[in-house]
Amino acid sequence: MMKVLLVAPNVDATDVGEAFVAFKWAEALSQRVDLTVLTFQRPGRQSVESQLPRARVVTWPEPAWARRHERLNAMLKPAWPVFAKRVKRWLRDAIVRGEDFDIAHQLMPQAARYASPLRHFDIPYIIGPLGGALDTPAPFAQEASSAPLFTRLRQLDGIRFRHDPWLRDSYARAACVLGVAPYVRGLLDDIPLRRFEPVLELGIDNVEPLRPRAMKQGHLRALHVGRGVRTKGLRDAVRAIAALKDLPGVTLTSAGAGEEIELCRAEAQRLGVADRVTFLGAVPRAEIEKLYASHDAFCFPSFREPAGGVLYEAMRHGLPIVTADRGGPAWIVDDRSGLRVPVTDPAAYASDIASALRYLALDPGLQERLGEGARAKVDREGLWPRKAAHMVDLYKDILASQIVPHRYQRIGYPILS
């Protein structure tokens, strides 16, 4: 069985975000390969070893100082240098002990700004899926200027891709770099990659049964789910509803909390559509699932979205999608599952979103076809067992392309400079 080393600073089924996604990958891969996982153990949480009974798990305590500011920790990964040093030391000692691996995979962090400890070893390795680093389109910059200071640090990513020797070396040495969508390849154009593959980091456990929806021409219950920040496109969706005054049966429901919500509420009031836009605020997960089931379409015009997990959530319920033709959504949603809107300027963007919603509202047959296409797409490519199978096939293809099949010669991996 193929021996795989998986590296991620946090792997936790009881957490959210990257830690949960890393767990789902590790769980699915452990069914197919001889998996060793290197990660932090967060104090007070269920042990990673007990969560992954089919894998060999090596953990180190996550530094307490890194957990003091949860949002900052999630965004900047301040403990990464500590973790990278642990990984480098463990792998060096493993080589001395005579251990070998067919391939190593640095799954997380997802942000493309962390030099990999795997670059120090002569072992085939993969990094990714990488995401993030998307900029805010210039016409939207003024309205999105309230972003926290540390989130604006992504503006330095391009400079680092061109000039950071450790980051460049990490990607250039990798047998393959994965990106959450094809746009990531363009971000890394200044680095001579050996191979690039788009692989969405997200997956689903199942798809919902097909259920009839009460489709009526001229009516459309659109849903937006996401944090209340400008880049998620809720303000654009509200403006789109205002451009459909001749279709009062088209409504919008917002599920999410944040600074943008009150601004959007005021925008709906100003534009005279407050009676057609419902703001639910923060909604429990069980209620979110009910919202997907009770609405007709998912309107998610997030214009700086590297991936878009909520798209998969909506698609598994058979909802047609209206989203941005940019970043991850442009790749996740195809012509058989939704309508993609070009990101131009705020006025034109809202108008184009309105046009997409109009198409759906006036053509229930189109709603049905795109909804079925969305559900079929995530069923075909989004289920975790299928994603793991695809990843293992990629491992095999990468190893087959290596000049020396080191595993079968049982040679050690020298530490590189």
Which tens digit of pLDDT belongs to each residue from 392-406?
999 999 999 875 444
Q: How confident is the model at residue 102 (pLDDT cuts 50, 70, 90)?
A: very high
Q: How confident is the model at residue 152 (pLDDT cuts 50, 70, 90)?
A: low
In the chain, % of residues over pLDDT 90: 81
Helices then strands, counting H and E runs in the chain, come out as 16, 13
Query: What is the predicted pLDDT for the residue at 64?
Result: 83
Angle at 213 between CA 209 and CA 216, to 5 degrees: 165
In this predicted structure, the answer to whether residue 260 has a pLDDT above a threshold of 60 is yes
Query: What is the predicted pLDDT for the residue at 416?
Result: 53
Query: What is the predicted pLDDT for the residue at 155?
Result: 62
Name the nearest CA neighbour of 416 among 91, 86, 81.
Answer: 91
Domains 3-203+383-409 and 220-381 share a fold: yes
**Mean pLDDT in residue range 92-105:** 95
Sign of CA dihedral 221, 227, 228, 232: negative
The strand pair at 103-106 and 125-130 is best described as parallel
- In this predicted model, what pLDDT tens digit does every residue of 263-321 receive, in sequence order? 999 999 999 999 999 999 999 989 999 999 999 999 999 999 998 889 999 999 999 99
**220-381: CATH, from 3.40.50.2300, 3.40.190.10, 3.40.50.2000, 3.40.50.300:** 3.40.50.2000
Query: What is the predicted pLDDT for the residue at 417?
Result: 46
* pTM across the whole model: 0.90
In this predicted structure, the answer to whether residue 180 has a pLDDT above a threshold of 60 is yes
Is residue 232 a contact partner of residue 140, using CB atoms and an 8 Å limit?
no
Q: Where are the domains of the chain?
A: 3-203+383-409, 220-381
Query: What is the predicted pLDDT for the residue at 151?
Result: 52
- Amino acid identity for residue 386 in this structure: R
In the chain, % of residues over pLDDT 70: 90
User: Rounded to an integer, what is the distance from CA 164 to the centroid of its chain?
Assistant: 25
Query: What is the predicted pLDDT for the residue at 70?
Result: 61
In this predicted structure, the answer to whether residue 40 has a pLDDT above a threshold of 90 is yes
Residue where the block lists tokens 């890394």? 188
Query: What is the predicted pLDDT for the residue at 410?
Result: 34
DSSP 179: E
The residues, ordered by sequence, that sit 6+ positions from 26 with a Cβ below 8 Å of its Cβ are 6, 8, 11, 35, 37, 52, 55, 107
Strand runs labelled E in 336-406: 338-341
In this predicted structure, the answer to whether residue 407 has a pLDDT above a threshold of 50 is no
Name the nearest CA neighbour of 186 among 231, 135, 118, 233.
Answer: 135
Residue where the block lists tokens 């590790």? 26
Q: Which fold, 3-203+383-409?
A: Rossmann fold (3.40.50)
